[in-house]
């Protein structure tokens, strides 16, 4: 039996294998009008193709809790009934293929209001420009040169956001999702609060580790309150900002030690799996990437805390993914670009590893 193709049960939900699809923005939703932020035929085929290809769990792209939480105006959201209804068609199809549907709930913070990645390299859309808006963040620090300085969130606005994360979780459940993942990685809003590099506040939401993690834990509590006890909640984290760990340096960032400590807190607040990535909070961070370069961060969390983990990052081969799970480095692997290149990667991997190949009946001759 292949370890990669063994089912995994989290709470009362059994996911058919350990090969999952990571969230990947498609920048293909309507930016305005009655269908603003709602999934359309492009999103349906994008997610459905990976389901028919045998992927065990599929997570949507970062799905915003409100309009100004989108990375770009072309991203998905889940703040109204039109969006909720549009997702039902997708989740029903994924379930019919034996795939577990998951949603990544997000707010982009200071990295919001940008172009699609193939337009001006995903650069900022400034307030006053078409489809642009003023971003928000924990502190008035722009992401990079040319980006808008975000408005610093007040305590009242932070509390409003916590409620909006909970409301989006409630809509996600109504839309048919079975996993809710909170996006706390890649320099987006929650990551901005966690890291001393981007959080310069002096109130209850900044300064100490306890204060910088307060917003994230309040969001977890709000989502968990809306999510059924029998279904899992994931948290995606950047395990390191890839910055200095010298506390006297103004470029001190979130560290792997912080992640291990925070993983214990997340487990106490009802998180079932840590989706472990890195980086994204500092545009000039020095990252040495290579096959499986982020796996050690997931492995450390699993070994030191016992929390289930997902591993991501340049995982491109079946035997590489199999080894990660079989060696106990992670409980599952999440693929991004490789699933863009090969929607049926899971079927090819199962065949290579001698596992049962799952596919739709109309394609049985090719399975």
For residues 10 and 4, the answer to whether their CB atoms sit within 8 Å is no
89 three-class SS: helix
Pairwise CA distance, residues 292 & 269, whole Å:
29
Pairwise CA distance, residues 160 & 220, whole Å:
14
User: Taking Cα atoms as reference points, which of 231, 130, 234, 141 lies closest to residue 187?
Assistant: 141
Pairwise CA distance, residues 119 & 270, whole Å:
39
Pairwise CA distance, residues 26 & 281, whole Å:
21
Q: Which residue has the tokens 């020095």?
A: 286
Active-site residue, selected from the candidate residues 27, 188, 209, 293: 188
Pairwise CA distance, residues 334 & 346, whole Å:
11
Pairwise CA distance, residues 301 & 295, whole Å:
10
Backbone angles phi, psi at 288, to 5 degrees: -95, 100
* Active-site annotation holds for 188: yes
Question: What does the DSSP 8-state code read for residue 126?
Answer: P
Q: Which residues are catalytically annotated?
A: 188
């Amino acid at each position: 039996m292949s370890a990669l193709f063994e089912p995994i049960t989290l709470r009362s939900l059994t996911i058919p294998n350990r090969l999952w699809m990571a969230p990947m923005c498609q920048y293909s939703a309507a930016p305005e009008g009655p269908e603003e932020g709602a999934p359309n035929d492009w999103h349906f085929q994008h997610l459905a193709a990976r389901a028919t290809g045998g992927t065990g769990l599929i997570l949507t792209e970062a799905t915003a809790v409100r309009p100004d939480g989108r990375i770009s105006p072309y991203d998905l959201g889940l703040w109204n009934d039109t969006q909720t209804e549009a997702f039902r068609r997708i989740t029903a199809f994924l379930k019919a293929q034996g795939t577990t549907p998951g949603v990544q709930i997000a707010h982009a913070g200071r990295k919001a209001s940008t172009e699609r990645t193939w337009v001006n390299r995903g650069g900022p859309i400034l307030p006053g420009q078409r489809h642009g808006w003023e971003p928000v963040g924990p502190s008035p620090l722009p992401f990079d040169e040319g980006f808008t300085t975000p408005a610093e969130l007040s305590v009242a606005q932070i509390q409003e956001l916590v409620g909006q994360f909970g409301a989006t979780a409630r809509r996600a459940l109504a839309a048919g999702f079975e996993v809710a993942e909170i996006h706390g990685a890649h320099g987006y809003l929650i990551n901005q609060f966690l890291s001393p590099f981007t959080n310069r506040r002096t109130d209850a939401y900044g300064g100490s580790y306890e204060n910088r993690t307060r917003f994230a834990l309040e969001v977890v509590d709000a989502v968990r309150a809306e999510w059924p006890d029998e279904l899992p909640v994931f948290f995606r984290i950047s395990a390191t900002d890839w910055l200095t760990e010298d506390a006297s340096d103004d470029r001190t960032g979130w560290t792997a030690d912080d992640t291990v400590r925070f993983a214990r807190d997340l487990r106490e607040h009802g998180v079932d799996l840590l989706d472990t990535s890195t980086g994204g909070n500092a545009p000039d961070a020095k990252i040495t990437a290579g096959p499986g370069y982020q796996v050690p961060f997931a492995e450390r969390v699993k070994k030191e805390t016992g929390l289930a983990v997902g591993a991501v990052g340049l995982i491109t081969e079946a035997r590489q993914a199999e080894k990660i799970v079989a060696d106990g480095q992670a409980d599952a692997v999440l693929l991004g670009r490789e699933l863009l290149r090969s929607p049926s990667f899971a079927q090819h991997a199962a065949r290579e590893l001698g596992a049962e190949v799952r596919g739709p009946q109309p394609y049985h001759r090719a399975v």
